[in-house]
Amino acid sequence: MAGRMVVGSTALAELVRPASGSDPTGAHQLLPVLPELAGLLPNRGLRRGSTVAVGLGHPARSGSTSLMLALLAEASRAGSWCAVVGVPTLGAAAAADLGIELGRLALVPHPGPEWATVVAALIDGVDVVVAAVPGTVSASVVGRLAARARQRGSVLVPYGRWAGADVTLQVIRGAWEGLGQGRGRLRRREVTISARGRGAAARPKEIRVWLPGDGSSRTGRVSSAGVVPPSGGPAVAAPPGVGRTGSRRAALTVVGTSD
């Protein structure tokens, strides 16, 4: 009896392998991303060991922070640990709305001159490390951090100018909806995200998504902070031509794809 139990548990232990294990077999190598963003990434997910940069948008404030958070969201929800270095202005409520588990999100707002050391230390243990790039970073540091991420199986997400990323995502345009002259409120924003990179991601791609999407269509999740529109108007109807599926999560919705 005892022998059988031991055998049974060994068999189970082989079936269920820790997600963080360093074995290089297929599925464990990918961290999930929101399905709307999957099309931009070569393997439809964040490949462990890769470097996925988020570039600053063209008008500086047109959605790059939301894009960075959206990139983390699905992996964080699936149980990965994330860290954000050097972004003291991060809005935690927005992160939680996008689906990031705040209990597994560490913030290092002021890494100071130890930036490279801190990022390297985080790569050792955290699945996704977002690092706001301070000014200029020397090519040797870039190479060292990328190599470290590759070796440890973490995903490095430089946030800012970064040479040598596998994929660089960038917000090209962002347009808000819902704000009138003295009425309405910000409801959702259509952003155009471009992806370019090397290897499998060499062909530039572009998608349009709602980021953030219209909160009214979010049925399953209500953030703990809650939302009460002071104007209390009805939800904006989806504009014609928007391919919104009836998905549960509409924090992010694909508007169209143009390769």
Residue 209 parent element (H or E): strand 205-210
Nearer to another protein, 150 or 164 (CB): 150
CA dist., res. 191 & res. 11, Å (int): 48
Say whether residue 181 binds another protein (CB under 8 A): yes
Residue 7 Cβ vs another protein, minimum distance, rounded to whole Å: 17
Residues 188-227, mask of contacts with another protein (x by CB under 8 A): xx----------------------x--x-------xxxxx
CA dist., res. 134 & res. 191, Å (int): 25
Binds another protein by CB under 8 A, chosen from 180, 199, 234, 246: 180
Residue 88 Cβ vs another protein, minimum distance, rounded to whole Å: 6
**Mode of pairing for the β-strands spanning 205-210 and 253-257:** antiparallel
Binds another protein by CB under 8 A, chosen from 8, 24, 88, 243: 88
CA dist., res. 170 & res. 8, Å (int): 49
**CB 38: neighbour CB atoms within 10 A?**
15
Residues 89-108, mask of contacts with another protein (x by CB under 8 A): xxxxxxxxx----xxxxxxx
Rg from Cα positions in the chain: 20
Say whether residue 240 binds another protein (CB under 8 A): no
Buried/exposed 78-89: b ≥16 CB within 10 Å, e otherwise: eebbbbbbbbee
The interface region with another protein, picked from 12-20, 45-53, 142-150, 159-167 by CB under 8 A, is 12-20
Say whether residue 3 binds another protein (CB under 8 A): no
Nearer to another protein, 92 or 200 (CB): 92
**SS3 state of residue 20:** coil
The residues pairing with 257 across neighbouring beta strands, listed in sequence order, are 207
Residue 37 Cβ vs another protein, minimum distance, rounded to whole Å: 16
Residue pointed to by tokens 């999407």: 213
* Touching another protein, residues 134-163 (CB under 8 A): none
Nearer to another protein, 45 or 212 (CB): 212
